[in-house]
Amino acid sequence: MASILRVNTLTDASSNNSVPMATVASGSAKAWINFNGTGTIAIKDSFNVTSITDDGTGNYTITIANDMVNAFYCSNLTSQAGATAYGFGTGDNTQTASALTGIFTIQHGGATQDVSHLSASINGDLA
Amino acid sequence: MASQLKVDTLTGVTTAGSIDVTGEGNSTTTNLQQGLAKGWLKFDQDNTTADDSHNVSSVTDVSTGVFNQNHSNNMANANYSTNITSGFYRVIGTNREDGGGTGVPDITSVAYFDVRYNSSGSTYTNIDMTSNTTVIHGDLA
Chain A contact for B7, CB < 8 A?
A: yes
If we measure between CA atoms, which residue out of A57, A67, A119 comes closest to residue A88? A119
Q: At A6, is the secondary structure helix, strand, or coil?
A: coil
Contacts of B46 (CB under 8 A, 6+ apart): B128, B129, B130
User: Is residue B83 scored above 90 in pLDDT?
Assistant: yes
Interface of B with A in 46-75 (CB under 8 A): none
Q: Are the C-beta atoms of B34 and B20 separated by less than 8 Å?
A: no
- For chain B, the average pLDDT equals 90
- Model confidence over A78-116: pLDDT tens digits? 988 876 555 566 666 678 999 998 888 877 667 788 989
Q: From the CA of A54, how many Å to the nearest CA of chain B?
A: 19
| pLDDT tens per residue, range A6-20 | 999 999 999 999 999
What per-residue confidence (pLDDT) applies to B73? 96
Domain extents in chain A:
31-123
pLDDT attached to residue A86: 57
Residue of A45, A69, A81 with shortest CB distance to B24: A69
Cα A8 to Cα B93: distance, rounded to the nearest angstrom:
57
* Segment B103-131, tens digit of pLDDT: 899 999 999 999 888 776 667 888 898 88
Q: CA-based angle A124:B36:B69, to the nearest 5? A: 115
**Dihedral angle, C-alpha B80, B40, B130, B67, nearest 10 °:** -40
What pLDDT does B105 receive?
A: 94
pLDDT, averaged across chain A: 88
**Chain A residues touching B65 at Cβ < 8 A:** none
What one-character DSSP code corresponds to residue A81? P
B88 — pLDDT class (breaks 50, 70, 90): confident
Asked whether B71 and B55 are in contact (CB, 8 A), the reply is yes
For residue A120, list chain B residues with Cβ-Cβ distance below 8 A: 81, 83
Work out the average pLDDT over A13-35.
Answer: 94
To the nearest whole Å, the CA of B90 is away from the closest chain A CA by: 16
Angle at B105 between CA A56 and CA A64, to 5 degrees: 50
Reported as a single tens digit per residue, the pLDDT across B55-76 is: 999 999 999 999 999 999 999 9
Contact B116 A5 (CB under 8 A): no
Nearby residues of A64 by Cβ (< 8 Å), 6 or more positions away: A30, A31, A48, A49, A50, A97, A98, A99, A100, A122
**Strands B95-107 and B88-92: what pairing?**
antiparallel
Q: B129: closest CA among B140, B114, B139, B118? A: B114
Percentage of residues in chain A with pLDDT exceeding 90? 65
The tens digit of pLDDT for each residue in B15-55 reads 999 999 999 999 899 999 999 999 999 999 999 999 999 99
ipTM of the complex: 0.89
* Nearest in space to A30 (alpha carbons), one of B131, B140, B81: B81
pLDDT of A91 reads 63
- Number of C-beta neighbours around residue A2 at 10 A: 7
Whether B36 sits inside 8 A of A48 (CB atoms) is no
Whole-angstrom Cα Rg for chain A: 18
